[in-house]
Structure formats: C-alpha cells, structure tokens
Amino acid sequence: MRVLIAHIGFLLIATLMVVAPANAGSKYNKDYFGETVIHNAVFEDTLIHLARNNEIGFVELRAANPTLDPWIPGAGAKIILPKQHILPEAPRDGIVVNLSEMRLYYFKEKGKAPITYPISIGRDGLQTPTGSTSVVRKKDGPTWRPTKRMREEDPNLPAVVPPGPDNPLGTHALYLGWPQYLIHGTNKPYGVGRRVSSGCMRMYPENIKSLFPQVPVGTKVTVVDQPVKVGWIEDKMYIEVTPTQDQSVLIEEDAELTAYEISKADIKLINKKAGNHANKIDWEKVRTAVQEHRGFPIMILDIKTAI
C-alpha cells in the first residue's frame, strides 16, 4: 500500500514538473484587451477630469472625441472612453511603453492581459528615447535634482528638492538603465497624457502608487513609437491609430492637424497581420482611421462577411 501511494505521489510530482514550466512560460496570446465604453455626460463633466477618473490621458480622450468641448461637453453628450487597446508590436514581457499613444503596459503575469496606465512623455526637443532597458532601482519618496540644463533654463530652480508635495517626481520613482530617465509620479497630475516632460514618463499619483510595489528591480522595459497598430478580435481584424507625437501637440493647441500618411511599413504590417485574408481588407476604412486617428480599434476586415 505504501509503495502504491509513493508511486502515485511520484507520478503526481512528475506531472507537475512537466506541466508547470509550460504554463509559466506562456504569454498573453490575444492581440487586444479591454472594452470601449460610452459615457453619458452630466453637466459637471470635463474631459480632463473624466480622463483621470478613467485612467486615460487627456490628449487620448480628446482624440477619441474631437468634436466635444473639453471643458463643457454638455449634459447628455456621448463620450467615448477608449479603454480597448490593440497591443503594440513588442515583446509581451515586463513593461512596454508606446510613445504615440502615451501609454504604459505592464505584463505582470504570464498568460494574462497587461495592466495599463496613461503616461506623459518628453516634449519637443527632449523626446523620450525608444529601445530596451530595465528598472535598475526603485525609490519610495525620491529626491529630485534638476539637471544643469534645467537650471540654465530656470535659474530659480533649487539644487535639490526633497520628498514632499512639491517634488516633481511625485511619491515614487522607477529608475531606468538610461541615465536621467525615470518612470515616476508627478505633482502636476493634469499634465498626464501630454508631451510635457523632459523625457521621463510621468504617471498619475494613484497609478504610480499602484504600479510601484508590483515591479521588481530588473524588470525589462521596452519603449516603442507606433501610431498604427493592428490586431484580431475574434474573427475580425481591427486597426487602432493614435495621434503621432507631433499631432498630440496640435491637439493640445486646437490647431489643424497635419495629415498622417500611412507608410510602407504600416501597409506591410497590416497585410502581414491579415495573412491569407489580405485581399479582403477594407482600405477605405484604413484610410479613414488614419485620417481621424481616434485612438480606438476600427474594424477593417470581417472574415464572415468579406467576399
């Protein structure tokens, strides 16, 4: 009897040893996650407050609702909350940042959808870099030391700002392998979702407090710049086009947007994603999505209805 129990135990352990690594190594295999939400506005709503309350960036929300007054959208207005996202073309591992959509994705658990937050990125002339790095250290209550360039631009800046409510780094900071670039909070939360930083990635105070304890030192960080993303949602293919970094500035200024011309690389990406169904793509819908850059998925191919 003891031999039988021992044998069964051995088989159970052996089975777990075979199954566990396969599950542990699996990655999230869908092209998308989340759902687009329609919010019925009340009189008190403004886009800047709705953005923060729904973990959306300001420019992101304006792009999704270009005809609405950002300060007085009006009671009863239908406001699109772009909470469904196609994932960028990047390793689904660690932190992934897409600069065009000013959004951070954290793939915390293998096989599960990422956690996502809006961010601010570098302004013109001080762009956030693209490429791969990692989190090299973390600090609860960081100290801010303005760079030489910052103090030359504003001689009134102090040499050091200690932790506290006036600290531009907010309450928590993740230091990257790129010197002087961080993912951190802010003491100016309504700048999130805009190109306002000196290259760092800023987060809403409540979002960095949530992300900080979940990210271990050594976490991989991949930064890309992809205004055009494509992916499958069940048997339909969608395109998601966000404003480019330059267009986001124009949206802030209520200026006329320069047209974004779809590139050969974008066309190649779309055709590759469509695979054997590439001849069924609705290119008119693609052109409309590119022109409008609303920042939420638009269906461009339906296997069931395509002829």
Residue of 85, 172, 184, 293 marked active site = 184
Structure tokens at 114: 């990422």
Q: Is 184 a catalytic residue?
A: yes
Q: Is 172 a catalytic residue?
A: no
Query: Could you tell me if residue 56 is left (phi over 0), alpha (psi between -120 and 50 degrees) or otherwise beta?
Result: beta
Q: H helices of 41-145, where?
A: 47-53, 58-64
Separation of CA 274 from chain center: 24
Distance CA 269, CA 230 (A): 8
Q: Would strands 121-122 and 195-197 be described as parallel, antiparallel, or unpaired?
A: parallel
Contacts of 157 (CB under 8 A, 6+ apart): 146, 150, 151
Distance CA 125, CA 255 (A): 20
- Of 125, 121, 126, 131, the residue nearest 100 (C-alpha): 121
CA angle 263, 230, 207 (to 5 degrees): 110
Distance CA 239, CA 165 (A): 41
Residue of 85, 172, 200, 293 marked active site = 200
Please say whether the beta carbons of 35 and 84 come within 8 A: yes
Distance CA 226, CA 99 (A): 7
Residue keyed to tokens 């986001």: 248
Q: Would strands 298-302 and 121-122 be described as parallel, antiparallel, or unpaired?
A: unpaired
- Which residues are the active-site residues? 184, 200
